[in-house]
Every structure is written in C-alpha cells, then in structure tokens.
Amino acid sequence: MLKIKNLHASVEDKAILRGVNLEVKPGEVHAIMGPNGSGKSTLASVIAGKEEYEMDQGEIILQNENINELSAEERAHKGIFLSFQYPVEIPGVSVTNFIKTAINETRKAKGLEDMPAKDMLKLIREKADLLEIDRKFLSRSLNEGFSGGEKKRNEIFQMAMLEPKLAILDETDSGLDIDALRIVANGVNKFKSKDNAVIVITHYQRLLDYIVPDFVHVIHEGRIVKSGTKELAHELEEKGYDWIKEKANA
C-alpha cells in the first residue's frame, strides 16, 4: 500500500525528518508514537503532500506508484486521507453538503459524473448508521461550534465516506477525552478492511487500548528508532520515552 524510503524533509530550511523508512501493507494498522516534537505530524503532512513541507530526499510510493511529485489534492484523489485536512469552519455549509462536494470532486478527478443524489443519500445514511451518527449532526454547519468529540465524529465520517486507501489519523495530544477516543477507535475499527490501511499517530498509549495496531513505530528526532508490535506501546506507557532516546543517542 505505502512504502517510504529514506525520507528526509524540512520545514523552513530546518531538517525535521532524517531518513524515515516504513512499509504499510493492505489490511494493516500501524501506530506511530514518539515524544513531542519528534516529527510525527511532519511525517503525516509530508505523506499527504502539504506544501509547507519540503521533501529533500527519498521516495513515497503509494500502490506501486511514486507520488513524490503529486500535490496534496492529487494524493487525496489517489486515496490518501489525512485527518484535520479540512479543519475549517464553514457557516452555512453542512457536514453533509461538504462531504457531497468532496466526493464529487474526487469523482470528477477520475473522470466520473457526480454521484446520483439517491446513491449519495443511501451512502450517507449507511455510513452514519455504521458510525452511530445522529441524523441531526449531519445538518450542522461544518465545524461551527463543534466540541472535541464532534470534530472527531466529523473526521471519522469524512473518512468513512471517502473510503480512502490509506487513512492517516493524527491524534494531537490535547483534547482527546475518552468519548473522543472511542469515536476515533470505533470509526477506525469499522473502517479497516483487507483492502485499506490505517496509520494512527498518537503521543499516548491510551488510544491503542481501543485500536489494536499490527505494528508500532517510535519516532525520535526524525527517525524511526524502534518498531514492534502492540507490546511496544505498553512498554512505552510503563517506561516513557527516555530509554528510547538514550538508546537512539548511544
């Protein structure tokens, strides 16, 4: 699904990623952990093709295609989804209307007609039911006055509707209460299939009590310094990140 080879990236001429290698196969869930400022969000942004990030070296391969030169929009159309890609508040545009537009834009990029309204409605209902999303929520204005949990619900709904090949969820450290954690975890668990892959980025082990990853990677100073299975996340919970840092610097 995704292969990252020797990825180096910088922001404003400051080197952040210093040789990341990662392979994610279809059907897998990978967790990326690491101390604050280690480069987790940068990695997510570079994979998604955000413009502020400069790729200095390496290759990003999605389904056997090198996507180094593709824009964020083109990558989204190829099936990469990054949470918080659309954090804007749009008064007067509902959760539903926003996602309808996003879906039809993706179809247009593939040379397809708009999805027939009937099919769209069916899809929306199916996904909302799957994620236990209240119909009333769907007519709310996008992100306007959303609580932390509602923002998560919206993101997960967007993910479920867009059916990406690779979903990257960057769970920032703050504001994730237990409800929000459950929304994200249930969403991911219902979304994942043998044909897609998920990368969950988190600072804390707690989320991984609900989403069981196949692999856990630890980033430190822009490199993956340790990879393992879910036990690694528990080890980090117990011991913190210092032992990883010491090992990496040894």
Q: Which residues bind ligand ADP (CB under 6 A)?
A: 11-12, 16, 34, 36-42, 52
Using CA atoms, how far residue 100 sits from 93, 158, 172, 241, in Å, is: 11, 10, 27, 42
Measured in degrees and rounded to the nearest 5, phi and psi for residue 25 equal: -95, 160
Q: Which residue is nearest to Mg ion (CB)?
A: 41
Span near Mg ion by CB under 5 A; candidates 36-44, 58-66, 113-121, 229-237: 36-44
d(CA 211, CA 200): 9
Least separation in angstroms between residue 53's CB and ligand ADP is 7
Q: Which is nearer to ligand ADP, 41 or 196 (CB)?
A: 41
Cα–Cα–Cα angle for 54, 50, 217, nearest 5°? 80
d(CA 247, CA 244): 5
Query: Residue 69 binds which entry of Mg ion, ligand ADP, none, with Cβ cut-offs from 5 to 8 Å by kind?
Result: none
Residue in 32, 33, 38, 41 binding Mg ion, rule: CB under 5 A: 41
d(CA 115, CA 106): 10
Paired sense of beta strands 215-220 and 197-202, if any = unpaired
Q: Which is nearer to Mg ion, 16 or 161 (CB)?
A: 16
Q: Which is nearer to ligand ADP, 71 or 139 (CB)?
A: 71
Least separation in angstroms between residue 169's CB and ligand ADP is 13
Residues that bind Mg ion (CB under 5 A): 36, 40-41
